Structure 1
Amino acid sequence: MNCGLLTNKNEPVPLKHIEVHLQALGHVATVTSTLQYVNEEKRPLEAVFVFPMPSGAAVCQFSAKIADQEIVAEVQEKQEAREQYDDALSSGEQAFLLEESEESVDVFKLSVGSLPPGQSAAVTFIYITELRVEADHSLRFCLPAVLNPRYTPAGTSAGIVSEITSSSTGIPYSLSFTAHVSSPNPITKVESKCPLEPLMYLNTDHTEAKVSLCAGHMFERDVELYLYYQNPHQLTAIVEAGAPTAQPGSHMGDPVVMVSFYPEFPESVMSSVSSCGEFVFVMDRSGSMSDMMHDGPDAQERIECARVTLLLLLKSLPIGCYFNIYGFGSDYESFFPKSVQYSQDTMEQAVKKVKEMRADMGGTEILQPLEHIYKQPCIPNHPRQLFIFTDGEVGNTKDVLHCVRSNADFHRCFSFGIGEGASSALITGLAENSSGHSQFITGTERMQAKVMQSLRYALQPAVIDITEDWSGVSFTRLSPPIKTLFHGQRALIYAQLKGEECQKPDAKGKISVRYRLRDQDVSDTVHFSLKPAENSGMAIHRLGARSLIRTLEKDEQDDGADKEALKARVVELSKQSGVSSSHTAFIAVNKGSRQAVKGPLVTRRIPTPMLLACTMKSSRCMGVRMAAAWCVTPACASVPDSDGGFDMSPEISEPPEDPLLQLVSLQKASGCWEMESTLAEVFGRTEKELIEQIPEQVKPDVWATLLALIWLHGFKIDAQVEWQFLAMKAVAWIRTQKVVNQSECVRVGNALLGCQVKEDALGI
């Protein structure tokens, strides 16, 4: 059955065109998206569509143009807005209602009331968002093309999120995308996985540039843009003037400053790792994990990628730590009753069970296993670190994040969104609420590389004891305090500037950020002019308001909170700044459209393109993925839910015959390899050839381990991020063996394997 904006005869309301403009200012962005529709039916419609938003984004403006008349929405308390919308429809007026999902802040629903027959409508959204920092120091903007079906646990109310499912309807609409980038530091390049027109610099110092998506993009996957600036670790501050029409002293009337804090980690810190910790791996085993990672020819199922990644993680853990593995779906199970010490025996038990993992546990109820984990007593001197893998298809995101935040003092969470469409609110929220780190694995990206990067964060020292010293300004802080930052993480600090000194033309401000990294005290300082930046569309004011609104909304969930007072403050700030919240909605009514409605309004759901990730096994579809244009997502379907009802588990398959993975699987928990025929096969040799070349006074396991290190450095150096911890364990083990003729071993090993690896490169 088709879905989307459908008539009672399953006929869709056509989406004709999407036009998107990105305005990037340093580390933040304003996005304007216009969608053009036509009602080709003979009766008025009430159109409904659901769309995804980046986590941390907030809608700040919404308007609609029908024929030649434009109406602009205003922010009202949510229930009042709903009542006004219903009253408008019953009076024959055109009306629009835009509201945030009550289950997840990254999903919005728009209701378009009384679209006349044969009439076109252009709907425009403007939203603001912070740009995500990537491992190579670029800033990532993502225009989501996919919003997966969300699983709503039994006993919870069905809302906006639960309406989202798949559609197979083909939609012939077009997309245009343009980005304008400006930064305090020069822009070095802009990249994308999608074809771009050449980058055009707009000034001589390269602090402004423009780029567009090539014509003809089909929007079958996310549009990702990567912005590169010079001196990315430099502390920067941007001041934005208040709105001329706003009351001085109010949030929108005073200047607001945004400070970007992105600390640099010295190599000495990067190379140090801890051997302590309790590592709890929480794996999504719902039916949707049998979907494909992408639609390319070499795509793997999500659960298969997860199995390989878990194997690599198990081999990379340090001796002396503790670990456990949970699988969850409609229910949950753990490998061990409680976390066990890492040893050869416990590692082998876990590896065997990992190879048997299937996507066979129904729905996606992540709250229960988290609550169970938090009830387990912590192990002294072993900080608890959760690694959560999920395709993010849950309907009770806010409940999950509240649970994580309530236990934030006892753990850190490293979260991984698997596949297109994972909920950014869930994945980033898990990390943000526990001072952890989040990653998204999409398209052909290797899950192993990103997960091992996060393991390094978990084992390395982090920036702690962060304090700020402001000079020359009076201010009110809008963003929450920064507790912890890992390597590669950035924090944005928002503050409302007050006082008469802001009015002086030559006024200066200064902020010093002090922090502790390993055993060193570090301080970064930036001087900035209080003269505001040129017209920036109030993006910084609105992001500051959004930050404060999210903090107030979190405070509402705490026991003993004055919920009514907090709600009133959220509503006031939301209406003043025009930024969406959980307690407000955008409402627009076209007063001049009053027409008698003949017959009932027909509700339609906007259809969107379909990404089919189906593997046919025994004539059964093993998984369905739904693609959605950024602002347009289907909201109904009756295909078998990939998270329940049917056993959609893949056949258990052995890991692919990848030599690197074969080598990984053969390493012992201590870090060594033993001499055996399967190891020789990885090297393209026979066991006899390896044994015949053993230098004198060298034990077979030492020789095997040295050969493994030479092979890794000689043939797999491009994947070093994946095997770095395996190598560190191997080097540490070799040092305990007191090898007397190490240089001779490396020379013979190079000759045997056909490599030219230098001894000092091995770190032994």
Structure 2
Amino acid sequence: MMNCCGLITVQKEPVPLQSIEVELEVKDHVATVVSTLKYQNKEDKPVEAVFVFPLPGDAAVCHFSAVIGQKEIVAEVKEKQEAREEYDDSLSSGQQAFLLEESEQSPDIFSMKVGGLAPGESASIRLEYVTELAVQADDGLRFCLPAVLNPRYQPQGSEGASVQVFSVPASLVPYTLCFCGRLFSPRPICKVESSCSLEPLQYLNTDQTQATVKLAAGHKFDRDVELVIYYKDAHQPTAVVEAGQTSAETGTLMGDPVVMVSLYPEFPQSVMSSVASCGEFVFLMDRSGSMGSSMNSKERHQTCIMSDRDTLLLLLKSLPMGCYFNIYSFGYNYEHIFPQSVEYNQKTMEEALKKVEEMEANLGGTEILKPLKHIYSQRCIPNQPQQLFVFIDGGVVNTKKVLCLVKKNSSCHSCFSFGIGEGASSALINGLAKEGGGHAQFITGTDRMQPKVIQSLRFALQPAVEDISVTWGLPKGVSVTVLSPPITSIFQGQRSLIYGQLTGQGAAAPSHIRYSM
């Protein structure tokens, strides 16, 4: 099989990519991404092709269209079987057709079938999606545009072909990426940092609540584009209102204004002083063969397994005395350092540190379900809340099965996940934390590893604040229908978003918002 990414024929031959344009719009904590990709069929015969591309696991696709010659095709949402039948009928009648599907096994893999692309003809594909941005340990908001879709491990005996997509050296990338972003926030935008070279941040107004950001000219799309956005007064609650569509009927979700409330509180010291000194900490470390690859294109000397070890060693040295812990590592099979969790003391810590330092990426595939099932089968230690820390560099094709298992056992543990290296599956990393009631971190280099690690450990040790209520202050005649699930608990450093539909005469932004705990 030929290793390539993007648009490929059913015979696995690449369709040449001509250009990529990406427009990013960030409103407070939510990003809208519009990607336009242009291809050309340079063969002397029509081709049917498949386009495989990555999206954040929680992204919502809100527009998809394709232009072939002078003809534009705009996607419609239909029942899966009906859509497949219409696609086959169009192909058999000689018409162009597009079929966009989400992977049945992993929510961050989308594939699109393109039919009837004539010789010499170009195809322009436009995809728009919306996603929430994750908060980092230093209060920044992380946006990542993946350069490639890393290979997903196919567990033995499962159905379907695994996706094999690899990155290529910058010298072999025959195109550049045109990327620009617009930022809007109720509070001033302090700065934007990136793993790539940026042009200076341009403010659009005097209070610095609007700005534009662009990649420096000539950027080769050979690695992930990561942006970290910083706002002033990050812990202040904010509300952003999106107006309803004028073409939609009033009283419907699309016709009414929708408000997004961001809660990112900083708790009093009296609350934070009651940090727990107990718990059972179970570490699950990826030692599959892919962990031997480089962290990113800049730090080729630093492999994922090296970063994995460094992250785990830092966590081990930071555990409180008297807690319990154990370390599992997995690949095709799994291993554990102790038969069961042991008390954390000087002797057990030194034994664990020595074995972690000797770990290599030599356990084959990425069979994460096996060790998870074993961990969940163990008896919980009384009065020691279980905290599961998972370290993994990529993804698996059975992501949904993994997340279902974590959710099923979420009542007896919290799950904290670490995506190691560029290209880690956001669906898997964020999904583990979401279903396990923990927090997700992405470690793509050595620069911000330590604060991220310590933040997750602090979450695991600190008490969760419960009994949360939100009071809306609205103009007379305006009401709100909350669209989000109720917030039952919150950690310091953990952001929560509340969405609500505003109805009534003169529906606008809330006049004030209060939260109490």
Could you say whether these structures have the same fold, taking a TM-score greater than 0.5 normalized by the shorter chain as the test? yes
Worse-superposed segment, 229-238 or 346-355: 346-355
Deviation at 1:387, TM superposition (A): 0.8
More strand by share: 2
Worse-superposed segment, 10-19 or 409-418: 10-19
Report if the CA contact (8 A) 2:9-2:49 is conserved.
no
Match of 2:198 in 1: 196
Report if the CA contact (8 A) 1:146-1:420 is conserved.
no
Match of 1:376 in 2: 378
Match of 2:240 in 1: 238
Equivalent AA in structure 2 for residue 443 of structure 1:
G
Match of 2:368 in 1: 366
CA change 1:412–1:16 in 2 (3 A) is same
Report if the CA contact (8 A) 2:10-2:48 is conserved.
no
CA distance in 2, matches of 1:211, 1:511: 31
2:15 is the alignment partner of 1:13: yes
Deviation at 1:507, TM superposition (A): 8.4
Deviation at 1:268, TM superposition (A): 5.5
Match of 1:387 in 2: 389
Report if the CA contact (8 A) 2:239-2:509 is conserved.
no
Match of 1:490 in 2: 495
Residue correspondence of structure 1 range 343-492 to structure 2 within 5 A: 343-445=345-447, 447-472=449-474, 473-492=478-497
Match of 2:163 in 1: 163
CA distance in 1, matches of 2:247, 2:139: 38
Equivalent AA in structure 1 for residue 275 of structure 2:
V
Equivalent AA in structure 2 for residue 494 of structure 1:
Y
CA change 1:8–1:85 in 2 (3 A) is closer
Deviation string, structure 1 residues 351-390 (Cα, Å, up to 9, x no partner): 2322332222221111121122112222122110011111
CA distance in 2, matches of 1:274, 1:8: 56
Deviation at 1:424, TM superposition (A): 0.4
Deviation at 1:320, TM superposition (A): 0.9
CA change 1:265–1:10 in 2 (3 A) is same
Deviation string, structure 1 residues 189-235 (Cα, Å, up to 9, x no partner): 22322222222222222222112111100111111222222221111
Equivalent AA in structure 2 for residue 492 of structure 1:
L
Equivalent AA in structure 1 for residue 30 of structure 2:
V
Worse-superposed segment, 149-158 or 113-122: 149-158
Deviation at 1:448, TM superposition (A): 4.3
Report if the CA contact (8 A) 2:8-2:51 is conserved.
no
Worse-superposed segment, 292-301 or 75-84: 292-301
CA distance in 2, matches of 1:205, 1:387: 41
Equivalent AA in structure 2 for residue 78 of structure 1:
K
Match of 1:520 in 2: none
| Cα RMSD (Å) | 2.2
CA change 1:348–1:402 in 2 (3 A) is same
CA distance in 1, matches of 2:62, 2:483: 17
Report if the CA contact (8 A) 1:287-1:360 is conserved.
yes
Unaligned runs of 5+ in 2: none
Report if the CA contact (8 A) 1:14-1:171 is conserved.
no
Residue 78 (structure 1) aligned to one of 77, 80, 97: 80
The 3-state SS of whatever aligns with 1:191 is: strand
CA distance in 1, matches of 2:272, 2:51: 46
Match of 2:257 in 1: 255
Match of 2:46 in 1: 44
The 3-state SS of whatever aligns with 1:276 is: coil
CA distance in 2, matches of 1:32, 1:299: 34
Report if the CA contact (8 A) 1:145-1:221 is conserved.
yes
CA change 1:312–1:52 in 2 (3 A) is same
Higher relative contact order (CA 8 A, sep 6+): 1
Equivalent AA in structure 2 for residue 311 of structure 1:
L
Residue correspondence of structure 1 range 220-235 to structure 2 within 5 A: 220-235=222-237
Worse-superposed segment, 247-256 or 134-143: 247-256
The 3-state SS of whatever aligns with 1:55 is: coil
Match of 1:91 in 2: 93
Report if the CA contact (8 A) 1:435-1:484 is conserved.
no
The 3-state SS of whatever aligns with 1:306 is: helix
Match of 2:140 in 1: 138
CA distance in 2, matches of 1:298, 1:194: 16
Task: Give the TM-score normalised by structure 1.
Answer: 0.64
CA distance in 2, matches of 1:10, 1:454: 42
Residue 114 (structure 1) aligned to one of 113, 116, 119: 116
The 3-state SS of whatever aligns with 1:288 is: helix
Equivalent AA in structure 2 for residue 54 of structure 1:
P
Residue 334 (structure 1) aligned to one of 316, 333, 336: 336
Equivalent AA in structure 1 for residue 307 of structure 2:
C
CA change 1:507–1:49 in 2 (3 A) is closer
Report if the CA contact (8 A) 2:61-2:130 is conserved.
yes
Report if the CA contact (8 A) 2:257-2:508 is conserved.
no
CA distance in 1, matches of 2:373, 2:207: 53
CA distance in 2, matches of 1:464, 1:401: 25
The 3-state SS of whatever aligns with 2:152 is: coil
CA distance in 2, matches of 1:293, 1:86: 42
More helix by share: 1
CA change 1:316–1:167 in 2 (3 A) is closer
Equivalent AA in structure 2 for residue 3 of structure 1:
N
CA distance in 1, matches of 2:321, 2:507: 61
Equivalent AA in structure 2 for residue 490 of structure 1:
R
Residue correspondence of structure 1 range 528-547 to structure 2 within 5 A: none
The 3-state SS of whatever aligns with 2:153 is: coil
Match of 1:105 in 2: 107
Report if the CA contact (8 A) 1:328-1:364 is conserved.
yes
Residue 71 (structure 2) aligned to one of 66, 69, 72: 69
Equivalent AA in structure 1 for residue 415 of structure 2:
C
Pairs aligned (count): 510
Report if the CA contact (8 A) 1:278-1:379 is conserved.
yes
Max Rg structure:
1
Deviation string, structure 1 residues 518-561 (Cα, Å, up to 9, x no partner): xxxxxxxxxxxxxxxxxxxxxxxxxxxxxxxxxxxxxxxxxxxx
CA distance in 2, matches of 1:192, 1:352: 35
CA distance in 2, matches of 1:371, 1:166: 30
Report if the CA contact (8 A) 1:326-1:332 is conserved.
yes
Equivalent AA in structure 1 for residue 29 of structure 2:
H
The 3-state SS of whatever aligns with 1:75 is: coil
Deviation at 1:315, TM superposition (A): 2.5
CA distance in 2, matches of 1:442, 1:167: 15
CA distance in 2, matches of 1:91, 1:479: 45
Report if the CA contact (8 A) 1:282-1:328 is conserved.
yes
CA change 1:194–1:164 in 2 (3 A) is same
Report if the CA contact (8 A) 2:137-2:452 is conserved.
no
CA distance in 2, matches of 1:297, 1:22: 27
Report if the CA contact (8 A) 2:182-2:212 is conserved.
yes
